[in-house]
Each structure stands twice: as C-alpha cells, then as structure tokens.
Amino acid sequence: MKVISKILVLIAISCLIITCGCAGVMGPDPEVVSVTSKKALDGLNSVDKVTVLLKNNGYEGNVNVKAVFNSDKGRTFSEKQSIYLDEGASKYVTFTFDTEYDEEGTISVTTS
C-alpha cells in the first residue's frame, strides 16, 4: 500500500510540474488582422496614423507590437507598444509617425 501511495504522490507532483512549466509557454498568440494608414494633421505637422488590428489566438498576456514605416525618401520611423490581450480578444493599436505631407512609404508590423 505504501508503494501505491508513493506512486500516486509522484504522479501528482509530476502533473504539477508539467502544468507549472507549461504556463509560461502558453501565452498569447497574436495575429495581425489588418494594417491601415492615413495622413492626418497633428497641429501644423503632417503625420501618418497607422492603425493595427490584432487578434489573440492564444491565452491572455502581454504582447509587444512594433510598427516600422519605411519612407520613399529614405527615412525610417519605428515605434513599439506593449499591450495586454485577453484570451480570444481583438484590439486596435495606433502608431503616429511624423512624416512630411508628400511622404509615402511601406509599413511592416511585427509582434512578440
């Protein structure tokens, strides 16, 4: 009987270790659903407002979002934000880049 008790205790401890060990791995799984950009005025400055829609396909947690605007004039703008996403939630994140009125470019978004 003592052997069975010891085996059950070892199984319970193993399950606890596996569950706790996987908790850090089971974080958010963000997906970039859409990226839109539009010119706007911020005071007297022309800016590009980039709006990113994220969807979390994983568990709740913090997500780092980085947007990069590569200008056709050879300039690069970069901004990062850290947001919290609930499990299954979607959220809009907005980035503002101080560009010139006639400046165009490409946008890339990464998450981690």
* pLDDT value of residue 26: 85
* pLDDT value of residue 9: 63
* pLDDT value of residue 43: 83
Residue 17 CA to residue 6 CA, distance in Å, equals 16
* pLDDT value of residue 93: 98
* pLDDT value of residue 44: 81
> What are the pLDDT tens digits along the chain (112 aa)?
676 766 666 676 766 566 555 555 689 999 999 999 999 988 888 899 999 999 999 999 999 999 999 999 999 999 999 999 999 999 999 999 999 989 999 999 999 9
Report which of 40, 44, 29, 35 is spatially closest to residue 89, judged by C-alpha positions.
Answer: 29
Give pTM, 2 decimals: 0.75
- Domain limits, the chain: 27-111
Class of the CATH domain delimited by 27-111: mainly beta
